[in-house]
Chains A and B, each alone.
Chain A
Amino acid sequence: MSQLAFLAPLTPEDAAKALGAQGARALSGGTDLLVQLRAGRARPSVIVDLKRIAGAIGVREEGGGFVIGACTPGILLSEHAALSRAWPGVVEGASLIGSTQIQARATLAGNLCNASPAADSVPAMIAGRATCVIVGPGGRREAAVESIVLGPGRTSLAPGEFILEFRLPPRPKRAADAYLRLIPRTEMDIAVAGAAVNLTLDDAGTVTEAHVVIGAVAPTALWLREAGAALVGSRLEAPAVEAMQAVVRAACRPIDDKRGTVEYRTRIAGVLAQRAATIAYQRARGVI
């Protein structure tokens, strides 16, 4: 610890420079990093706190969509009425993480870059077709959320790169999302399986666009294009839903442990996807 430095840059450019140093680690809400520091699993030379960068914390509406600062804690997402109305699945994914104390700190960028297969906020962000604005030594680039996590603990961010903000696209009418996860108790646990569904409907209630993403059942969250395609043109009649569930179950490659066997996680992923689709559909219809 004696060699550790701490920097809190005020601009994205200074942050990218600081993160370019050998052994630098980005600090967002700290709910993963501080645990790793204490356990000796992370031994950075410098910690770069990104929260003082202008715009790093907060939600704003822009171009019909939403821009979410990468260091925005979960509680600010659930307190944001317009975001919660437009993207209830994104907000419920983030809100499921941890206790009141954790919600005041834990962030979307941290959850994504920690790169756990079970990250609760990630499936709904992918299903929502969210992108991240990434800042690094080479300037800025924008990338889809699903391109960030490569596997457990591994991301596609280059040295010096960090996520500055997330962008959620404009919401058409009759569109909504939902996220569900299964845990063995009522809260404060890690997903055994999770599913996010994002739907857009036409006036008659027929699905015109659908995105299905599953979590905790493979090394990364999986965006299943064919599962979404199975729902398009339907009003969630049984054959369409069963076709979607078949794609989900075929894609599952979960671990097998005491919290859930391969068979159980695979079966449950299909159930969660069906239920999340139903909730998203009802929300899009304005029924709930």
Chain B
Amino acid sequence: MSKHHISATVNGDPVEFLTSSGATLLDVLRDQLNLTGTKEGCGSGDCGACSVILDGRLVCSCLVLAPEAEGRRIETVEGLSDGVRLHPLQEQFLKHAALQCGFCTPGFLVAAKALLDANPDPSETEVRYWLAGNLCRCTGYDKIVRAVMDTAAELRQARIPA
């Protein structure tokens, strides 16, 4: 019936899109904005593959209706790298081989970025609890946790003035 004209910010850029009432933010990111880094896993908020940061908070984009995004700020996995260099999290995921099939990886990266933005010095327990909404069927999680811990240490080091 009704189409909504939505204005939002995605990875720092203003975007506008038309959406139906029942489309999810995930649908719009992937199918209209062509930001296919965000994955659809379960579609019910259980797996975290579609994680994005919405106004500074980590959410499952499959559980957000697209019209809700009006005026909101959205960060996706595409915004992690500056276009030249990978984000330290991405480097550490590669270094630790913290992925196998890779389908859950964008969600883990975005979730880990939200964690490190909020808590630069998380304990391993905090990392594991924070990432409990992201499911990985390949790695057994250990390499992911180590990659996040090492990134946190690296970023803390980088913050110390020389």
Asked whether A and B interact, the reply is yes
Residues of A whose CB lies within 8 Å of any CB of B are: 1-6, 8, 27, 29-31, 34-35, 37-39, 47, 49, 51, 73, 75, 98-102, 104-105, 187-188
Tell me which of B20, B54, B114, B129 contacts A187 (CB under 8 A).
B129
Who on chain A is nearest to B107 by CB? A101
Which residues of A are found within 8 Å of B131, using beta-carbon distances? 100
A104 in contact with B57 (CB, 8 Å): yes
| Complex alpha-carbon distance, A27 and B22, angstroms | 12
Q: How close is A207's CB to chain B, nearest CB, in angstroms?
A: 34
> B64 within 8 Å of A by Cβ?
yes
Q: How far is the CA of A30 from the CA of B54 in the complex (A)?
A: 14
Q: Are A104 and B65 in contact (CB under 8 A)?
A: no
Complex-state Cα separation, A6 to B68, whole angstroms: 9
Interface residues of B in 100-128 (CB under 8 A from A): 111, 114-115
Q: How many residues of B contact A (CB 8 A)?
A: 33
**Chain B neighbourhood of A6, CB < 8 A:** 2, 4, 21-22, 65, 67
Q: Hey, which chain A residues are within 8 Å of B130, CB to CB?
A: 100
Q: CA of A51 to CA of B67 in the docked complex: distance in angstroms?
A: 12
Contact A101–B4 (Cβ < 8 Å): no
Interface residues of B in 10-62 (CB under 8 A from A): 20-22, 24, 43-45, 48, 51, 54, 57-60, 62
In whole angstroms, how far apart are the Cα atoms of A111 and B86 in the complex? Answer: 40
Main secondary structure of the interface of B (DSSP, over half): mixed
20 contacts between A and B (CB under 8 A): A1-B20, A2-B1, A3-B1, A4-B20, A4-B21, A4-B22, A5-B21, A6-B22, A30-B63, A31-B63, A34-B45, A34-B62, A38-B62, A39-B44, A49-B65, A75-B57, A101-B63, A101-B133, A187-B129, A188-B132
B70 close to chain A: CB less than 8 A: yes
- Please give, as numbers and ranges, the residues of chain A lying within 8 Å of B43 by CB-CB distance: 38
Query: Given A5-B21, A31-B45, A187-B132, A101–B60 Cβ distance below 8 Å?
Result: yes
Residue in B20, B22, B45, B68 whose CB lies within 8 Å of A101 = B45
Interface residues of B in 119-162 (CB under 8 A from A): 129-134
Q: A98-B45, A101-B45 are in contact. Are A8 and B133 (CB under 8 A)?
A: no
Q: How far is the CA of A137 from the CA of B118 in the complex (A)?
A: 42
> Given A99-B48, A100-B130, A100-B132, A49–B68 Cβ distance below 8 Å?
yes
Which of A2, A34, A75 has the most B CB atoms < 10 Å from its CB?
A: A34
In the complex where A2-B1, A102-B45 touch, is A27 in contact with B65 (Cβ < 8 A)? yes
Residues of A within 8 A of B24 (CB): 34
With a CB–CB cut-off of 8 A, which chain B residues contact A35?
A: 44-45, 63
